[in-house]
Amino acid sequence: MLWRYHLGVHKTATTHVQKVLESQREKLLAQGFDYVPLAQLRPRTAEIFWKRAFRKLRFRRAVGSSASVMILSEENWLGSIEDACTYPIYPNLEDRLSIMPRKNAVAFLAVRNPADFAASAYSEAMRHVPNLVSLSRTRDAFLSEPSPWFDLVERVRQFFPRLHVWRYEDYRGNEQAFISLIAGIPVDASEIPDPLETRRLPAEVIEELERLRASGGPVPTAATPESSDGLTRFEMFDDHQKLELTRGYERDVDRLHPDRAAEGDAA
């Protein structure tokens, strides 16, 4: 069996990738490739990370497919969304990735400018686990290091030497090429729009949630407004901080040499 793991990271169009692959599942199966939908995969594998015995065997059974090529996409295998709001980013990924079959495996990972990534990850955490993150802690974590990506990629490569990395910014406008890279065969991404449910929360919503936090009460989860008309895009950093984070990101990108054009088969 060949394994093709799309590991995220969070807030790098993972939901869009998953929706496209799910829409193409029947076509993939006809060619011996199977993509297990996230709604099936996540609950089957989530509990394995908390158990110590026979985890690799449990993982294989949880996937539940006998296809010759498995395509799996799950950003939570690196860690939870609150783990994306700290530094080092995803502090427990080594323990988590160690349970996944690595023979005949290739992995895929996207990185994103931390000036945008931190704000989007924090917003997503406020949507699901608001009492586990705070604006000040997240901001301080990312300002403590110009960019987390080179170190993260090196940690992931310890488990998956055949790791393909690209920039989230390159994904936009070239979605079909990158999703085909993940799948290993051409897929059609033209009919799947960006999901609305993962849009960044507006600044006004974040400010209200942080006001509630400052008052000492529990912070409720927040849903993305149906319309952003009249609302302000949430930003975490000022212009000077954005510039420094962008420079750190560019240095990491230069060191990583990511797959800019998604050319060729990763198998």
Residues 86 and 142: their CA atoms lie apart, in Å, by 7
Residues 64 and 61: their CA atoms lie apart, in Å, by 5
pLDDT (tens place) for every residue of the chain, 267 residues total? 899 999 999 999 999 999 999 999 999 999 999 999 999 999 988 888 777 667 778 888 888 777 899 999 999 999 999 999 999 999 999 999 998 999 999 999 999 999 999 999 999 999 999 999 999 999 999 999 889 999 999 999 999 999 999 999 999 889 999 999 999 999 998 889 888 888 899 999 999 998 988 888 788 888 878 777 889 999 999 999 999 999 999 999 999 988 864 544 444
Quickly count: other Cβ atoms within 10 Å of residue 3's Cβ: 19
- What lies within 8 Å, CB to CB, of 172 at 6+ separation is 13
- Domains identified in the chain and CATH numbers: 2-120+146-192+248-256 (3.40.50)
Token duo for residue 5: 């793991």
Residues 64 and 82: their CA atoms lie apart, in Å, by 28
Residues 125 and 201: their CA atoms lie apart, in Å, by 10
Q: Per-residue b/e over 232-260, b at no fewer than 16 CB within 10 Å?
A: eebbbbeeeebebbbebbeebbeebebbe
E strand map for 159-218: 163-167
- Is residue 11 within 8 Å of residue 82, measured between CB atoms? no
Q: Residue 173: phi, psi to the nearest 5?
A: 90, -5
DSSP letter (8 states) at residue 233: B
Residues 95 and 191: their CA atoms lie apart, in Å, by 37
